[in-house]
Amino acid sequence: MKSKENTTDWTPTNPEFDPTEPMQVGGQAVIEGVMMRAKGMIATAVRRPDGKIIVKSEEFHSLVERYPRLKIPVLRGAIGLVEMTYIGIKTLNYSAEVALDESAGESTGSTKGATTLTLVATLGIAFILGIGIFFFFPLFAATQFFTIEQHPLQFNLIAGGIRIAILLVYLYAISLMRDIYRLFQYHGAEHKAVFTFEQNAPLTISSAMQFTRFHPRCGTSFVLLVMFVSIFLFSLLDVGLLLFVDALTLPLRLATHIPCIPIVGGISYEVLKFSAKHSTSPLGRILIAPGLWLQKITTKEPDESQMEVSLAAIKAALRMEDAPVVTRASSVAVG
């Protein structure tokens, strides 16, 4: 598909989007494409094997948007974490269908039930694996190989260090794979498109390519924040437990730490939101620095064809008049 740049006024037709406000637009790299989310809309652009870009847009209204009373700090972040996990896996499945099959793009009635069942199963497996790798194993290793079980801060620092080490090794290892490298290029393209919008610049390929691929609100930064926040929150939790029990054990930690994961996610969301809003302040720069360093692994410089896909997604999410929407799904809501 030959690149064509829009040289007209880029401003979205919906006036509710303000580039000067943080967290107006976010996204995710998918297989041969990018998903973008703006208020009330999700758009996914994927390049098919024949070179054409398929853009699927669907209305999306989160629980927090539908029920304003849920806009409570920490709670809103926990809800958003669950919703974005669901959306992310669903979008990855869709992008795989489009990228691997030129005729893909719309689910038929006969396959809709099977697709939903597969999505639920995938979410379940991903959750179990995530708990096992990033929560059970670090706690198990810290308990088995160190004699600091009854020292909350020391124990959680060791467990947290193991958790972060696993993340770094995992990300670096998969970054060496060709397909993952392309995924990380689309991740870079997603960041450049978001930066272009936030800097009030024209949403064109030549304009977007000039921006950095490192963004303070990246999901990678969020994951890293979760791991740092968990160290301090779990340390406080263990201190509280010692007021009621004689000794901290692995089963007790698993039973109390795992249910607190949504709270950790909610607090991490608030920290991420604060750091994004104050990214130029000394404290903000400190908070975003680790995530930006990690993005040297999880983002790569995109080429112009990948940038074109990312811009197609953000234009559709912003409801721009020239957004190349090919398929439009019915509105969806989580919860």
The tens digit of pLDDT for each residue in 202-224 reads: 999 999 999 999 998 888 888 88
Share of residues in the chain with pLDDT > 70 (%): 81
Q: Which residue has the tokens 């990018």?
A: 34
Confidence of residue 1 (pLDDT cuts 50, 70, 90): very low
Burial (Cβ within 10 Å: 0-12, 13-18, ≥19) of residue 254: middle
Rounded alpha-carbon distances, angstroms, from residue 121 to 78, 86, 111, 192, 245: 21, 11, 15, 33, 37
**Contact in structure between 268 and 77 (CB atoms under 8 Å):** yes
Share of residues in the chain with pLDDT > 90 (%): 45
**Contact in structure between 22 and 29 (CB atoms under 8 Å):** no
Confidence of residue 129 (pLDDT cuts 50, 70, 90): confident
How far apart (Å, rounded) are the C-alpha atoms in residues 262 and 224? 15
pLDDT at 146: 92
- Mean per-residue pLDDT over the chain, rounded: 83
For the chain, the domains span: 25-328
- pTM of the complete model: 0.82
Above 90 in pLDDT, residue 56? yes
Above 50 in pLDDT, residue 301? yes
pLDDT in tens, 135-179: 899 999 999 999 999 999 999 999 999 999 999 999 999 899 998
How far apart (Å, rounded) are the C-alpha atoms in residues 50 and 27? 24
How far apart (Å, rounded) are the C-alpha atoms in residues 234 and 142? 14
pLDDT at 322: 61
pLDDT at 297: 94
pLDDT at 335: 38
35 phi and psi angles, rounded to 5 deg: -105, 135
